[in-house]
Amino acid sequence: MNKIIQTTCPYCGVGCGITAQVDDMRHQVSIIGDKSHPANFGRLCSKGSALGETVELKGRLLEPRIFGRDTNWAQALDQVAGTFTRTIEKFGPDAVAIYASGQLLTEDYYVANKLMKGFIGSGNIDTNSRLCMSSSVAGHKRAFGSDTVPGCYDDFEQAEMIVLIGSNTAWCHPVSFQRIRTAKDANPALKIVVIDPRRTASCDIADLHLPIASGTDASLFNGLLHFLQQTNALNQAYIDAHTEGFAEAVNAAALNSGSIEQVAKRCKLKVEDLQCFYQWFARNEKVMSIYSQGINQSSSGTDKVNAIINCHLATGRIGKPGMGPFSLTGQPNAMGGREVGGLSHQLAAHMDFSSTEDIERVAQFWGAHKIARKPGLAAVDLFDAIYDGAVKAVWIMGTNPVVSLPNADKVKQALQRCDFVVVSDCIANTDTTALAHVLLPAQGWSEKDGTVTNSERRISRQRTLLSPAGSSKPDWWIITQVARRMGFEKAFQYQIASDIFREHAALSGLDNNGEQGLRDFDISGLAGLSQHEYDQLQPIQWPVNQTNPHGSARLFADGQFFTSSGKAQFITIEPRLAVNSTNNDYPLVLNTGRIRDQWHTMTRTAIAAKLNQHKPEPFVEVHPVDAKHHQLLSNGLALIESQWGSMMARVQIGDSQQQGNLFVPMHWTEQLANHGRMGALVNPVVDPISKQPESKHTPVRIKPYLPAWQGFILSRQELTMIASGVDYWVKVKGEHYYRYELADGVLPNSLQTWVRANVFNTVSDNLQCLEYQDSGRNNYRAAQIVDNRLESVIFIAVDDALPERDWLSTLFEKPVLEKHERMALLAGIPPSGVAEGGPIICSCFNVGEQTIRAAIREKGLKTHQEVGQCLKAGTNCGSCVPEIKALL
Amino acid sequence: MKQRLVVIGNGMAGMRTIEELLTAAPEKYEITVFGAEPYGNYNRIMLSSVLCGEKAIEDIVINDRQWYLDNGITLHAGEDKAVVRIDRKNRKVCAQDGTVAEYERLLIATGSKAVIPSIPGNDLDGVISFRDILDVKKMLAYSQSHQNAVVLGGGLLGLEAANGLALRGMNVTVIHSNNVLLNRQLDSPAGKMLQAALEQRGLTFKMAAKLKQLLSDENNHITTVCLDDGSQLECDLFIMAIGVRPNMALAQAAGIYCERGIVVNDTLQTYDPSIYAVGECIQHRGDTFGLVAPLFEQAKVCANHLSAHGAAEYITLPTATKLKVTGINLFSVGDFQGDRTTESLHFTDPACGIYKKLVIKANKLIGAVLYGDTTDGNWYQELMEKEENIADIRNVMIFGKVYAE
């Protein structure tokens, strides 16, 4: 029997509602967007649409493991609790730590935070949200006295101007981008400005793109503040009534900005472009400044956030429809993590260690007499402390720091040196689970039950779709069980997720009033939810309390802020450039970020074959001039090195990249590529206030990697002994096959022998396979066919004469190979008359570039809508529309 | 008055020359043809097809006696019409039965003879070669009354004979001196595949074997084949197919310069300017011939000169090999072995019985072996003849012309 269940997407911070049709017997889920959910109104992006393909059990962590052996829950929990307890007894509470994740549900997060801060008594719980949101958190706190996103998605439609700053919204928050695109279509007067060093897909709808020099955002917004003052575009009444610190901030801005020409020079922008932006900003009342990692991931990220907020305060454009600063959060529950206090400097429910009253209040509420009284270590410092041996036991939940943290090779070493590493995850093999002493099987997205909060403060339910895989358990249950075994039974009596939610909601409302201190985060209106009401909970924006029982779309409409004076704070900004500047040894700036079809470290998105087709390999985008200077070949391999580490990537040359800058995707892991971890390169530099790493700016050098041979394998089965020892390999899951890209510096004496041993896993001469050899060039190709069905095909070339993989890939869908296909197999190209689809552009409908080009040519298609009508491409998530338009 | 042209040999090379000549200069000659077989002109290559039953004798006739009449050609055909002497001084030829013909121009097209192994028993009854219709008739007769055939020689002719006899129901063993069948045409992998395919059809092979002697019964009829390794094979019919030699005795006797064959220049003229020679009896620039394609080319050049148009020159081009065994496709051309100065491309699909090898030197194709899939043989031959630079198509050319366009 199929069930229809409404739940929430587990990827980015847009927080799209999903309607899932569930067949628990067959362990199948089919996904459509939830038309009633206010975050997406039925739309889904390519990743969300493919969720149904990621729920397979293959690759899941199904049983607890201690030192690599499957065990039962009792033993695993005893081991964790026992080791943590002994470590604390011997070395104190600060010798243990939890590193959590914006992938956790609010309920999981709440108990993890409660355990560490309340009962272990250390602040040492931090989260991967440190890597994406902490500069926003810090900026909000400084300006508003609270970590508050003032606006909401509805503002997109009401704005007169939207500024996207350091955000490739088109790829990273595709559904929000579609909403902005739709708003622009409906109202062509809506001005879109993109501020980004790269010309990203988001520039597709931009009226103006400012290709700002990396790291100069604060100069640009200081310049804007100065310009607003000079052109009398300030809202002096608002400044006077609702803010503090304006004079100092604007004076400093004037001083360090100088003329527009000087600002333009500093930011490497055309004066007229900058002037245009400033004038538009001044003239349009309803301006939204939407920003993301390009602002946050910086050693001056907090200042950049405040430089933006300053301009909104100076014009009074905050808290009203269609305007305000708006931080797009990266993860599905980064906001939820912030609400429970999951960052090491937070305490709980938007209270922190700066206030003794807050500490006492929380201690009393929890019944926690050992409560931590000072912040713990933030992510980068935390792993340094593990490396140094100060932290001796760590529990990592639902995240992959060996890939995602800066200086990731050191993180790997830190975990290798650590006495006790516990990892709870839903996936068995990740770069981080590989280093765990104890592995705890957590339930995955399709099995969990709880709540998440999106970028616009909207709490949505994530609901159980499928029965748990193997022995997996909810994260809150695992934490609770360990807490009980550590002697904290009384405080961890939760039976179901809603028990935790009610407690969390109650804490948010505790003493939350004008007398005892008003806090922005208040969902006390939900503290009394029955289980039934919790199950039925509709998406709702906090605060939810007596005053706002149905939630709140916006805050600060009344000009009242959560500072002690009730006034918003201007922050005086002295712009700083990135900490590590380029030099002769490392002359290029490395930028990192997301791509359209992958999520984080690909542990789930790479399961969905169609999401791997858009960008199958780690790549580096290089400006043509830099490519020439560094002798890089288009589509060749490159070695990128920083002072901290190295990676290899496929070279993509294009002028969307600025000269002097490189861009690499953040996603690849050692599970999928032996040298694709960008984290190894990234400098371990953090913002002094937010402690957020400077992931967008690392000095690097690049050189071509010239292999003795390159090749690829397409195999129906996953290969176990994949090419151990080759310099470069990447694994890509396809539909019915796995693709491996290979390159190495040494040519084996016999490629035939090498392939048989490493790919076909046999030394037998009787192997029945098709083979092609070019003795002169040492090119080798082979294919295995079993019962007329293609099993595997391998191409190795000493030159780069390798065919496209597309057509060969399609042969795996065929139950029987036709004779002409068999003959063409090792030619690698279809027999004449069969058109190639080309690289996939539209992941949702699997439409390739060549198909689109052909349709445009043959049918005379003029617009992306026509392409959509003809091929469906671009009609679902729409995130490939910029690429279709480029083809047109 | 027409000049007189006499042709010795009513085979494929001679008659193709006449056909070409009739097109080029139909009125120039009064033509007389001598043939030692009592038929018109037939396609010797198709004898294998007759042997294995795919064709009847009448199917392989190229020109019947009526054709000679229609074209005003005097035909002397039959055993007693075999020419026994060329009188160069008087420009006439004499046949066994005394028939004499005078000529202004003589064309020798006497073909070749099977090589007879010099071992005891090579003249026994039941020991024959595989050259003409008579041989085929004998073989067919044996196949109806006897069991065991042994074929000496795993070359094209031997294998075709063996296959035909097997299809006619005999137990056939092929004795081959080399380790590889068709070793003049195939490399080792292709030869092994061919052997496997023929074994599957019931043929037996004695590879790298050397013949010692043939034993007979009291009626002087072969009974046993003895090999050097001591093994013996029962044998009712023994086919000699270890190659052919130019049939040049007549020319030699007439004092025409011969080496391994009748030596001709690029216009197919012998050392006697009034005498031409074509076909398997000649030696041109050191080469002798055994396949049909160069013969036809020689015929064209020779006719060109006989018709006094006189511009064409004969050049030996790489010749492709095909085995006429139904269901077995093989093709080879040029230097298919290669050496240290060459590069090679290989493709194998054992399950489909396909093997291909292309030999490349200085970006040109110089040889090819194809087994199992010979679709592109002609294309490869064309690439070789035109000496095309293959650098751009190298990565796909082994898969066929359709990928290289």
CATH code of B339's domain = 3.30.390.30
Q: Taking the CA atoms of chain A, what radius of gyration do you get in angstroms?
A: 27
In three-state secondary structure terms, A506 is helix
Separation in Å, CA of A771 to nearest CA in chain B = 5
Instruction: Please indicate if any CB of chain A lies within 8 Å of the CB of B350.
Output: yes
Dihedral sign (CA A722, A726, A730, A735):
negative
CB contact under 8 A, A822 and B352: yes
Residue A821: pLDDT above 90? no
Best of A750, A772, A818 to mutate (most B CBs within 10 Å, chain B): A772
Residue B153: pLDDT above 70? yes
Q: Alpha helix (H) ranges present in A284-407?
A: 293-296, 301-314, 334-340, 356-366, 379-388, 401-404
Name, in order, each residue with C-beta under 8 angstroms of B162's C-beta and a sequence gap of 6 or more. B149, B151, B172, B174, B198, B203, B239
Q: In Å, what is the CA distance from A122 to each residue of A487, A690, A850?
A: 16, 19, 57
CB contact under 8 A, B345 and A773: yes
- Confirm whether B171 is domain-assigned: yes
Name, in order, each residue with C-beta under 8 angstroms of A269's C-beta and a sequence gap of 6 or more. A210, A211, A212, A213, A220, A263
Name the amino acid, one letter, at B30. E
- Confirm whether B118 is domain-assigned: no
Instruction: Take residue A772 and report the two structure tokens written for it.
Output: 């092609």
The residue whose two tokens read 């004795």 is B175
CB contact under 8 A, A826 and B373: no
Give the span between the Cα atoms of A765 and A783, in whole angstroms.
Answer: 15
The residue whose two tokens read 């064209």 is B300
Terminal C-alpha separation, chain A: 45
Whether residue B258 is found in the same domain as residue B187: no
Best of B358, B390, B399 to mutate (most A CBs within 10 Å, chain A): B399
Residue B56: pLDDT above 60? yes
Residue A865's pLDDT is 82
Whether residue B96 is found in the same domain as residue B25: yes
Eight-state DSSP code of residue B365: E
- Confirm whether B34 is domain-assigned: yes
CB contact under 8 A, B347 and A824: no
Residue A762: pLDDT above 90? no
Residue A836's pLDDT is 61
Residue A871's pLDDT is 85
> In A122-266, at which residue ranges do the beta strands (DSSP E only) sit?
125-127, 161-165, 191-195, 208-210, 243-244
Of residues B32, B10, B38, the one with CA closest to residue B92:
B32
Domain boundary among B240, B267, B287: B240
Question: For residue B399, which residues of chain A lie inside 8 Å, CB to CB?
Answer: 823-824, 826-827
Give the span between the Cα atoms of A411 and A392, in whole angstroms.
Answer: 14
Q: In Å, what is the CA distance from A528 to each residue of A505, A536, B337?
A: 8, 14, 88
Of residues A438, A386, A335, A352, the one with CA closest to residue A117:
A352
Of residues A115, A160, A179, the one with CA closest to residue A455:
A179
Nearest residue, CB atoms, B347 vs list A772, A777, A785: A772
Question: For residue B346, which residues of chain A lie inside 8 Å, CB to CB?
Answer: 771-775
**What is the mean pLDDT of the segment spanning A821-837?**
77
**What is the mean pLDDT of the segment spanning A483-510?**
96
CB pairs under 8 A between A and B: 58
Separation in Å, CA of A773 to nearest CA in chain B = 5
CB contact under 8 A, B346 and A827: no
Whether residue B267 is found in the same domain as residue B165: no
Of residues A611, A576, A577, A609, the one with CA closest to residue A594:
A611
Give the span between the Cα atoms of A525 and A514, in whole angstroms.
Answer: 17
Range with top average pLDDT, A49-58, B100-109, B343-352: B100-109
Separation in Å, CA of A783 to nearest CA in chain B = 9
In three-state secondary structure terms, B112 is strand
Structural domains counted in chain B: 3
Question: pLDDT per residue over A661-682, tens digit each?
Answer: 999 999 999 999 999 999 999 9
Residue A833: pLDDT above 60? no
Give the span between the Cα atoms of B170 and B142, in whole angstroms.
Answer: 9
Whether residue B225 is found in the same domain as residue B294: no
Instruction: Please indicate if any CB of chain B lies within 8 Å of the CB of A788.
Output: no
**Nearest residue of B to residue A819, measured between CA atoms:** B352
Nearest residue, CB atoms, B402 vs list A777, A785, A832: A832
Name the amino acid, one letter, at A39. A
Name, in order, each residue with C-beta under 8 angstroms of A646's C-beta and a sequence gap of 6 or more. A639, A640, A675, A680, A681
Q: Are A8 and A44 in contact (CB under 8 A)?
A: no
In three-state secondary structure terms, A626 is helix
Instruction: Please indicate if any CB of chain B lies within 8 Å of the CB of A824.
Output: yes
Residue A800's pLDDT is 74
- Confirm whether B282 is domain-assigned: yes
- Residue A236 φ/ψ, nearest 5 degrees: -65, -35
Q: Report the interhelical angle of A849-859 vs A864-871 (nearest 10°).
A: 110
**What is the extent of the structural domain holding B282?**
3-113+244-306
Give the span between the Cα atoms of A495 and A474, in whole angstroms.
Answer: 11
Give the span between the Cα atoms of A170 and A175, in whole angstroms.
Answer: 8
- Confirm whether B312 is domain-assigned: no
Whether residue B39 is found in the same domain as residue B179: no
Question: pLDDT per residue over A721-743, tens digit each?
Answer: 665 678 999 999 999 999 999 99
CB contact under 8 A, B402 and A826: no
Residue B401's pLDDT is 86
Instruction: Please indicate if any CB of chain A lies within 8 Å of the CB of B358.
Output: no
Give the span between the Cα atoms of A544 and A457, in whole angstroms.
Answer: 11
Q: Alpha helix (H) ranges present in A231-340?
A: 236-242, 246-257, 260-267, 271-283, 293-296, 301-314, 334-340
Size of chain B, expressed as the number of residues it contains:
405
- Confirm whether B122 is domain-assigned: no
Of residues A710, A779, A723, the one with CA closest to residue A751:
A779
- Confirm whether B61 is domain-assigned: yes
Residue A758's pLDDT is 76
Residue B229: pLDDT above 90? yes
High-pLDDT (> 70) share of chain A, %: 97
- Confirm whether B156 is domain-assigned: yes
Whether residue B131 is found in the same domain as residue B202: yes
Nearest residue, CB atoms, B351 vs list A773, A785, A824: A785
Instruction: Take residue B47 and report the two structure tokens written for it.
Output: 């004898």
Residue A766's pLDDT is 57
* Mean pLDDT (chain B, rounded): 93
Of residues A470, A468, A398, the one with CA closest to residue A427:
A398
Question: pLDDT per residue over A98-129, tens digit each?
Answer: 999 999 999 999 999 999 999 999 999 999 99
Instruction: Please indicate if any CB of chain A lies within 8 Å of the CB of B218.
Output: no
Helix (H) or strand (E) holding A69: strand A69-70
Question: For residue A765, which residues of chain B lie inside 8 Å, CB to CB?
Answer: none
The residue whose two tokens read 């689970």 is A433
Separation in Å, CA of B346 to nearest CA in chain A = 5
Q: Taking the CA atoms of chain B, what radius of gyration do you get in angstroms?
A: 23
Domain boundary among B207, B222, B240: B240
Whether residue B138 is found in the same domain as residue B98: no
* Mean pLDDT (chain A, rounded): 93
**What is the mean pLDDT of the segment spanning A547-553?**
94
Separation in Å, CA of B49 to nearest CA in chain A = 29
Instruction: Please indicate if any CB of chain A lies within 8 Å of the CB of B329.
Output: no
Residue A767: pLDDT above 70? no
Give the span between the Cα atoms of A539 and A532, in whole angstroms.
Answer: 15
In three-state secondary structure terms, A51 is helix
Q: What is the reported pTM?
A: 0.86
CB neighbour class for A40 (10 Å; exposed up to 12, middle 13-18, buried from 19): buried
CB contact under 8 A, A827 and B351: no
CB contact under 8 A, A770 and B403: no
Question: pLDDT per residue over A166-224, tens digit each?
Answer: 999 999 999 999 999 999 999 999 999 999 999 999 999 999 999 999 999 999 999 99
Q: Alpha helix (H) ranges present in A550-673?
A: 624-629
Of residues A488, A478, A416, the one with CA closest to residue A64:
A478
Question: For residue A777, which residues of chain B lie inside 8 Å, CB to CB?
Answer: 343, 394
Question: For residue B400, which residues of chain A lie inside 8 Å, CB to CB?
Answer: 823, 827
Q: Are A300 and A218 in contact (CB under 8 A)?
A: yes
Eight-state DSSP code of residue A335: H
Whether residue B188 is found in the same domain as residue B267: no
Whether residue B229 is found in the same domain as residue B210: yes
Of residues B221, B223, B227, B219, the one with CA closest to residue B235:
B223
Residue A451, strand partner residues: A461
Whether residue B267 is found in the same domain as residue B292: yes
Q: Are B48 and B161 in contact (CB under 8 A)?
A: yes
Query: Can you count the helices (H) and strands (E) in chain B?
Result: 9, 27
Residue A626's pLDDT is 97
Give the span between the Cα atoms of A454 and A819, in whole angstroms.
Answer: 54
Half-sphere exposure at residue A503, Cβ-oriented, CA atoms within 13 angstroms:
23
Of residues A431, A439, A438, the one with CA closest to residue A411:
A431
Whether residue B28 is found in the same domain as residue B176: no
Best of A760, A771, A774, A836 to mutate (most B CBs within 10 Å, chain B): A774
Question: For residue A829, which residues of chain B lie inside 8 Å, CB to CB?
Answer: 396, 403
Residue A29's pLDDT is 94
Residue A489: pLDDT above 70? yes
User: Which region, left, alpha or beta, applies to residue A115 given φ > 0 means left and ψ of -120 to 50 means alpha?
Assistant: alpha
Residue A849's pLDDT is 85
Give the span between the Cα atoms of A602 and A600, in whole angstroms.
Answer: 6
Instruction: Please indicate if any CB of chain B lies within 8 Å of the CB of A827.
Output: yes
Q: What is the CATH number of the domain that holds B213?
A: 3.50.50.60
Instruction: Please indicate if any CB of chain B lies within 8 Å of the CB of A511.
Output: no
Q: Are A452 and A333 in contact (CB under 8 A)?
A: yes
Residue A1's pLDDT is 61
CB contact under 8 A, B344 and A775: yes
**Nearest residue of B to residue A773, measured between CA atoms:** B346
Instruction: Please indicate if any CB of chain B lies within 8 Å of the CB of A826.
Output: yes
Give the span between the Cα atoms of A877 and A16, in whole angstroms.
Answer: 12
Instruction: Please indicate if any CB of chain B lies within 8 Å of the CB of A802.
Output: no
Lowest mean pLDDT: which of A230-239, A854-863, B379-388? A854-863
The alpha carbon of residue A255 and the mean position of all alpha carbons in its chain are separated, in whole angstroms, by 37
**What is the mean pLDDT of the segment spanning A478-496?**
97
Residue A400's pLDDT is 95
State the pLDDT confidence band at B59, using cuts at 50, 70 and 90: confident
Residue B10: pLDDT above 80? yes
Whether residue B9 is found in the same domain as residue B107: yes
Instruction: Please indicate if any CB of chain A lies within 8 Å of the CB of B352.
Output: yes
Question: pLDDT per residue over B240-257, tens digit each?
Answer: 999 999 999 999 999 999
Q: Are A672 and A606 in contact (CB under 8 A)?
A: yes
Residue B226, strand partner residues: B213, B232
Nearest residue, CB atoms, B399 vs list A771, A775, A826: A826
Task: Domains for chain A: give ranges and CATH numbers.
Answer: 3-54 (3.30.200.210), 65-133+335-541 (3.40.50.740), 134-328 (3.40.228.10), 588-705 (2.40.40.20), 709-824 (no CATH), 840-887 (1.10.10.1100)
Lowest mean pLDDT: which of A379-383, A756-760, B384-388? A756-760
The residue whose two tokens read 């039976």 is A495
Bond prior to A468 in cis (omega within 30° of 0): no
Q: Are A291 and A328 in contact (CB under 8 A)?
A: yes
Q: Are A414 and A387 in contact (CB under 8 A)?
A: yes
Give the span between the Cα atoms of B238 and A858, in whole angstroms.
Answer: 68
CB neighbour class for A875 (10 Å; exposed up to 12, middle 13-18, buried from 19): middle
Separation in Å, CA of B342 to nearest CA in chain A = 8
CB contact under 8 A, A775 and B343: yes
